[in-house]
Structure 1
Amino acid sequence: MNKTIEEIFNGIKHNEGRLPKEELEELIRREDETRIFLIDYMEDFKKDYKVALEDMSYFGHIYATYLLAQFKEKKFYDIYLDILELPDNEAMALYDDGIKEHGGKIIASVYNGDDTRLIEIIQSDNVSKEIKYAVKNAFEIIQRDNPRYIDNIFDEIVNWECFKGEEEREEKAELEKAEEASLNNLIASELKKGLNDFIMKNSVEIGRNDSCSCGSGKKYKKCCGK
């Protein structure tokens, strides 16, 4: 028996370190049912969003936001703006970098034609500069001849660090460590070469068996004289 939309969604609303591609694809395939469920879900979430602030693995509101943006669901417009105007800049805590990166595209994707609230947000003293920037970006997107909306949730979130497994994160860390070591060796080599050139130009001639002037304690022939 097929799972209900609620069952599918409840199964992915906590991040387990993987992108739930099959589940999201099923929600997209059943778009009409998903729309209705997610609008109700986000209405409830708006009233009880503290759950996501207390549990960093909570991702339900994030999946819902990007799916409704992909669906171009205009009923979500006011709900999303209500969340952006939450007190104490809590919207930034709920979406983290998602507002800075995609907030404007999300607003533009669900835009219902009413500019009033966008203008109010820009003029407000109670929202952060990041949210004002997202609203400004939304205006710019809406006014373009060929606006770029949220058309595919996977295009927006597939490369997020939180969806990479532990093994992949460790491989990335090792690669970054190796690259840093290589860069450090290159810098050290260039510094040594520069020091050697300086010594050769500014000191008396050094015999191959003399102590190296760099202070290493080695003979010149086994140090900078190599």
Structure 2
Amino acid sequence: MELEEILSELENNTGKFPRLALEKATEERSAITPVLLTALENFSNHPEELLEKNEYILHIYALYLLAQFREPLAYPLIVKCFSAPGDITLDVTGDVVTGDLGRILASVSHGNIEPIKQLIENEEINEYVRSAALEALLVLVAEEVITREQVIQYYAELFSKKDREEYNYTWTKLVIHSTQLCAIELKSQIDRAFEEELVEPFFIGQEDVNNSLELGIEVALNKLRSNSRYSFIEDVILEMKNWACFQQSRINQLDTSFISSEEITSWTTKKSKNQAKNKKKMQTESRRKNRSKKK
């Protein structure tokens, strides 16, 4: 299979998983890497253009393949791709942000966490992107690239910000990840975040935090290392083969008599944004109930 044929298979989603093309892409790593980097560069410069290409998926394969290749040149491009404000990155990457973006960032970072910090601290970008960047730090701890102490020290800086934002999902993830690291050192900061209602109790409560902290640091780190969610991207085929957009039979189960072909092809890419909206709705309802109990 020649490079042009591989790219032809990977450019658009036909509903069928291109296993052979991905196998060949891995074998042709040197030849295909520049093309994948160009795909990410186009994504980073003109994400809005991808909104008009419902079937285009090469940028998604690029994210996973370059993560598998541990390609350092992909790192700044990926950071730029996901630094766009608003929901556009969710719109053009489907479930990638809430699924594997943290692992992708960690896979290409080679231990340089400064660009990851830039994403975390950028209040202009999507809160789920920022949360994925937080998760990337846990991947690097689990893979023993950076230490738990490095992350705890950085989390302490985030907790002590003078200009503290109002509630958003990033604060909740900061508390969750601190708990996963058994951050006993940050207990007072975590308690303060709950007191200021910066944390969504729908996802984690103070009792959950206390119970987790009692387990101890070594138990927490072992749990982290054994969880595949906190691992590098190793095999793009294993990562993507079961995605809903490749399960044609699942799409066929839909009543498509009143659905256009464009709506069908965009179905999976819109799912992540809908999930994010549902999460926000649940968060709002939970916070409202929580406040009413206090009154």
- Fold agreement, TM-score > 0.5: yes
Which moved further from structure 2: 116-125 or 91-100?
116-125
Q: What letter is aligned with 1:116?
A: E
Which residue identity does 2:246 align to in structure 1? F
Q: Which residue is 1:33 aligned to?
A: 31
1:18 partner amino acid = K
* Residue aligning to 2:242: 159
Higher RCO (C-alpha under 8 Å, 6+ residues apart): 2
1:74-116 deviation digits (Å, cap 9, x = unpaired): 1101100101101323111111211111011000111143322
2:232 aligned partner: 149
The 8 Å contact of residues 86 and 126 in structure 2, kept in 1 or not, is answered as no
- Conserved in 1, the CA contact under 8 Å of 2:81 and 2:89? yes
Partner of 1:80: 78
Residues 6-64 of structure 1, C-alpha deviation per residue, up to 9 Å, x if partnerless? Answer: 44213321111110111111111111112222123322332233332112211010011
Task: List runs of 5+ in structure 1 lacking aligned partners.
Answer: 174-226
Alignment partner of 2:11: what SS?
Answer: coil
Question: Equivalent residue for 1:136?
Answer: 134
> 2 CA distance for matches of 1:172 and 1:11?
25
**Higher-Rg member (1/2):** 1
Q: CA–CA distance in 2 between the matches of 1:49 and 1:6?
A: 24
| 1:16 maps to 2:22 | no
Query: Do 1:108 and 1:149's aligned partners in 2 also have CA atoms closer than 8 Å?
Result: yes
Matched residues, percent identical? 25
Matches within 5 A, 1:30-109: 30-109=28-107
CA distance in structure 2 between the aligned counterparts of 1:91 and 1:153, rounded to whole angstroms: 20
Contact 1:72 1:109 in 2 (8 A): yes
How has the CA–CA distance of structure 1 residues 41 and 97 changed in structure 2, closer, same or farther, with 3 Å as cutoff?
A: closer
1:6–1:113: structure 2 CA closer, same or farther, 3 Å change rule? farther
In structure 2, do the counterparts of structure 1 residues 86 and 75 end up closer, same or farther at CA, with 3 Å as the change threshold?
A: same
Amino acid across the alignment from 1:80: I
Instruction: Say if 1:77 and 1:112, in contact at 8 Å, map to a contact too.
Output: no
Aligned residues: 170
1 CA distance for matches of 2:46 and 2:253?
38
Paired residue type of 2:241: V
Partner SS state of residue 151, structure 1 = coil
Deviation at 1:170, TM superposition (A): 4.5
Q: CA deviation at 1:169?
A: 4.5
Following TM superposition, by how much is the alpha carbon of 1:141 offset from its aligned partner in structure 2, in angstroms? 0.8
User: For residue 92 of structure 1, what is the amino acid of its counterpart?
Assistant: L
On the 8 A contact 2:36/2:62 being kept in 1, the answer is: yes
Give the match for residue 116 of structure 1. 114
Displacement after TM superposition at 1:171 (Å) = 6.4
Dislocated runs of 4+, deviation >4 Å: 168-173
Partners of 1:52 and 1:58 within 8 A in 2: yes
Q: Is the 8 A contact 2:43 2:50 kept in 1?
A: no
Q: Would the aligned equivalents of 1:6 and 1:37 in 2 still touch at CA under 8 Å?
A: no
Contact 1:52 1:59 in 2 (8 A): no
Unaligned runs of 5+ in 2: 145-224, 256-295
State the SS of the aligned residue for 1:131. Answer: helix
Residues of 2 paired with 1:99 and 1:149: CA distance?
A: 15
Are the equivalent residues in 2 in contact too, given 1:118–1:135 (CA < 8 A)? Answer: yes
1:6–1:49 CA distance, 2 compared to 1 (3 A): farther
Counterparts of 1:27 and 1:163, CA distance in 2? 18
How far apart, CA to CA, are the structure 1 residues paired with 2:50 and 2:131?
24
